[in-house]
Amino acid sequence: MAEPYHMASTSKFRKLILNLHLWVGLAAAVLLLLIGGSGALLVFETQIDQALNPKLARVSPTGTTLSLNELKIALERQYPGYRVLELGIPESSDTAYEAYLQPASGDGLDVAVDPYSGKALGVWDDNRFARKLHGFHTHLLAGKAGSAIVAGGAIFLLFLSLSGLILWWRSKIFGVSLQSSGPKFQYDLHSTIGIVSSLFLLAFSLTGIVVHWEDAAGRWAKRVSQIQASEPVPRPAQPAPGVAPLEPAQLLSLAQAAVPGARPTTVALSDSPASPALVILKYPEDHTPAGRTRIFLDAYSGKILSLTNSRAAPAAVVYVTRLNREIHTGDIGGWPTRILAAIFSLFLPLLAVTGPLLWWQRRQRE
């Protein structure tokens, strides 16, 4: 936050913080504007995706859903030469299932399927708006380089949030008079938006930093919790000749029996005897999209090879793998916190605009 125009003197420390706040804010303004605007939209990523693709996303519930076995058979009939390797199970009854189909060679297909009829509704486009929006927010659609830039933006935001609090503490401006104009109006607006959103911006920056360095944070969490680093998933035993892999419904049943109370979100089938099957589940308190409870099974015997139960994880691991993301996205408290996350994400572009505007107005007066 810039210093009030009518204040003529200040401490050396305050001047240092003010100048750093100013130049960091100018350097990061465009990036923070883009991250804040895209983040506000991304809170509603699923809803936007469904609204833009209603024929693929929505179904009319009619009776009971088909079993996963029946869906697999139906899809492979509709796509000859393809194998169903993954089935996504949504929470709501009016949402289509998703399936990943792999051909003998070439790229696979992400297919939407009506779970009541088994009819394929179409193929999801990886270049659709919601997917691009997610990629833009996380890495500016520029791979590792873009991801590093976004991480730098989170660090800048952390500094701006803390330095803004220090600068605000002296003036304690809270509120904007509609009777004021020019630099005073801009400053009061910037100060008020900054202090109102400060805790949320701190949360966005800190959680964003952890998201970017999630692997390193996960290793730290395991060391703090005094648990060993994750071991590779054991290879399944070689099946006897002629033994067929278990059907998706059987794998799902075995996984649900191992973690009662968790809802399945994904069943990934084995693509060869040497690879395991995977079932992903989530407990009611888990607000991540797919869930953080994962079970690898031998696709032929059904033996559990590895089980990661989010309820059994130490607090530090739970924070890094689940809570940190839920705080960052606003999912932690459901719709109320998601709406708050969207609102305060939009405050970031306002700050990114009013800050440089204050700087420009000051230059004009000098």
In the block, which residue shows the tokens 């486009």?
125
CB count within 10 Å of CB 257 equals 9
Is residue 97 one of the residues assigned to a domain? Answer: yes
> Residue 229: is it exposed, middle or buried by C-beta count within 10 angstroms (0-12/13-18/19+)?
exposed
Dihedral sign of CA atoms 112, 113, 115, 116 in order: positive
**Which residue has 């009776």 as its token pair?**
63
- Domain shared by 290 and 156, yes or no: no
pLDDT at 300: 95
User: Looking at residue 74, which CATH number applies to its domain?
Assistant: 3.10.450
The confidence score (pLDDT) of residue 366 equals 63
Copy the structure tokens of residue 300.
Answer: 């032929």
| Location of structure tokens 């693509």 | 271
Token pair for residue 180? 């004021």
pLDDT in tens, 195-211: 999 999 999 999 999 99
Residue 120 is predicted with a pLDDT of 97
Distance CA 245, CA 266 (A): 18
- pLDDT of 6 strictly over 50: no
Residue 156 and residue 43 share a domain: yes
Percent of the chain with pLDDT strictly greater than 70: 96
Task: Please tell me the distance from the alpha carbon of residue 15 to that of residue 4, in angstroms, as a whole number.
Answer: 12
Distance CA 99, CA 86 (A): 5
* Nearest one of 80, 75, 84 to 102, comparing CA atoms: 84
Is residue 115 domain-shared with residue 151, that is, in the same domain? no
> Could you read off the pLDDT of 139-186 as tens digits, one per residue?
999 999 999 999 999 999 999 999 999 988 887 778 777 767 777 888
Are 32 and 144 contained in the same domain?
yes
Which domain range does residue 84 map to? 58-127
Q: What is the per-residue pLDDT across 272-311, written as a single tens digit (0 to 9) for each?
A: 999 999 999 999 999 999 999 999 999 999 999 999 999 9
Question: Kind of pairing, strands 120-123 and 263-268?
Answer: unpaired
Q: Do both 29 and 77 map to the same domain?
A: no
147 and 192 fall within a common domain: yes
For the cut 60, the answer to whether the pLDDT of residue 226 exceeds it is yes
User: Residues 207, 185: one domain?
Assistant: yes
162 and 23 in a single domain? The answer is: yes
Q: Count other Cβ atoms within 10 Å, centred on residue 202.
A: 17
Query: pLDDT category, 344, cuts 50, 70, 90?
Result: very high
327: in domain: no
Position 221 in a domain: no
- Domain tally, the chain: 3
